[in-house]
Amino acid sequence: MIEELRQRLQMMQKPAGLEDGPGALPLGIPAVDDALGGGLARGALHEVAAPGEAHLTAATGFVLGLASGGQARVCWIAEDMAKLESGAPYGPGLDTFSLAPERLLTVSVARPRDLLWAMEEALRCRAIGAVIGELRHGALDAVSVRRLSLAAADSGALALLLRAQPGSDASTAATRWIAGAAPSAARAFEFGAPRFAAHLTRNRRGPTGSWILEWSDTHERFVLTTPAVPVAAPPLDRPHRQTPSRHVA
């Protein structure tokens, strides 16, 4: 399996859209990009965790939205147990997040240490623009995580570690996120666009923050949504006084 992975990575060529330098990947949302110092840092490790097992699908969608930018190939590495529990990546679902199936290379491993090793090998391939590692359980090995950060810095690729629950272990990750599902906007006879409650809990470049993001098919990226907060009706004895509307970011 390891030798096959090496051969497949070597057969690839560096695609258009992969920058020569690390730089940043703007999300196109000023509030988020400002907090990140211009965007999600390329050439760095980022952790995205679900707040709980029930939100793992939402966290996966959030990771796909981060990884789908540009035309570079994406390598998705998961443990065998994760595929038994959740299944393999679904083509129409990938298409929702503007990730064509032909851009995706999937790898299955038996153990968490194999997953971290395979992520490091994939990051050292210049043909890969983003590497997703789906880690369900267990603490991170500090040495392996440090090697992931160094490999990402060398190649300029995004290293995205997807976890089923937030970790308290030490990490060299540039950012740590907790991403869960948020209620979608109601639409007649159809599902609304997917929304995510994204909490930036660690940021080496600046402040943390929380946002409700929606995936836009039109723009093929996240957009900021501002749901209205219900307010009380004006008192009956003072109808001339209007209750000001309130919004939260």
Statement: residue 45 has pLDDT above 80: yes
Specify the DSSP class assigned to residue 242.
P
Whether the pLDDT of residue 12 is over 80: the answer is no
To the question of pTM greater than 0.75 for the whole model, the response is yes
Q: Band the pLDDT of 149: cuts 50, 70, 90.
A: very high
Can you give the length of the chain in residues? 249
Please tell me which residue, 87 or 9, carries the higher pLDDT value. Answer: 87
Spatial separation of the C-alpha atoms in residues 47 and 175, rounded to whole Å: 6
Domains and CATH numbers, the chain: 2-10+39-224 (3.40.50.300)
The rounded distance, in Å, linking the Cα atoms of 238 and 107 is 66
pLDDT in tens, 183-232: 987 665 567 789 999 999 999 989 999 999 999 988 889 999 965 444 44
For residues 44 and 139, what is the distance between their CA atoms, to the nearest angstrom? Answer: 20
Distance CA 103, CA 74 (A): 6
Q: How many CB atoms lie within 10 A of CB 214?
A: 16
As a whole number of angstroms, the distance between CA 148 and CA 156 comes to 12
Alpha-carbon span 129 to 75, nearest angstrom: 8
Candidates 237, 245, 2, 243; CA nearest to 109 is 2
Minimal CA–CA distance to 159: which of 196, 120, 198, 125? 120
Mean pLDDT throughout 129-139?
87
